[in-house]
Amino acid sequence: MADVLAQARTWTWKVTVESTGEPWKDDCTLNLVAETYQLKRDTNIKRQGVNCALFGPIGIAASDTENREETYVFFEAARGGDGDHSGPIVEVYRLNKQGFKKLGEKELFEASYQRSGQAITSITGRVLFSFCSVCDGPEAGEPLDNINVPVRLTIGCGGLCIKPTLAKRERNALLAKFEERKQKAAENYHADADYQKFITNLEEEFHGLLGR
């Protein structure tokens, strides 16, 4: 029998997160399960590398579209275990009678769900960029090495839209802080080719987000 880890209800569906077995073992299961009237739909949310292991709070939210023909499902949890885990990842799915379709996901700290009536219209939170490449968790590095970008997530863009919510002055300050930390990291690890590649990828992702 499956363990129910979290659940949400809308007018149309009851949606649950269900697991079986030992989370780190290959034969475990982790599914989103939706039921309405005589219909039942599910989708596998197990992940390669960490299997069914979740860390920290587990959250699920859902809201129907205006015509109730579709429902949006938001699943939130960190992947992995104590000492080796991601930050909280928000996964977004569209649900109808045919089943689930994943629209996208984003690692998002302090996620907050905005509603209009019963409908979830957007999610706000912060995206973390850390210069620590070997820390056990995303926020385990020195505070000065962690740069946070406030963002808003909405459904659209053919999936999930992610936009920073910074004023121009705030954006310029973050750009300057990132450049300062990048220079210090380059000086301290100039002989480490792998770390230099890590910094290059981090910079591309950071500027890619702020350029939106």
Q: How much is the pLDDT for 176?
A: 94
pTM value?
A: 0.92
pLDDT along the chain (212 residues), means of 10: 95 96 95 95 95 93 92 95 82 97 96 92 96 76 86 92 95 94 81 85 94 79
Q: What Cα–Cα distance (Å) separates residue 172 from each residue in 49, 147, 153, 167?
A: 37, 13, 22, 9
Output the pLDDT for position 114.
Answer: 95
Cβ proximity of 165 and 152 under 8 Å? yes
The Cα-based distances of 196 to 11, 132, 143, 145, 179 in angstroms read 51, 12, 20, 15, 14
Q: Tell me what pLDDT residue 125 has.
A: 97
Backbone angles phi, psi at 112, to 5 degrees: -130, 130
**Residue 199 amino acid letter:** I
What is the predicted pLDDT for the residue at 201? 93
Res 135: pLDDT = 75
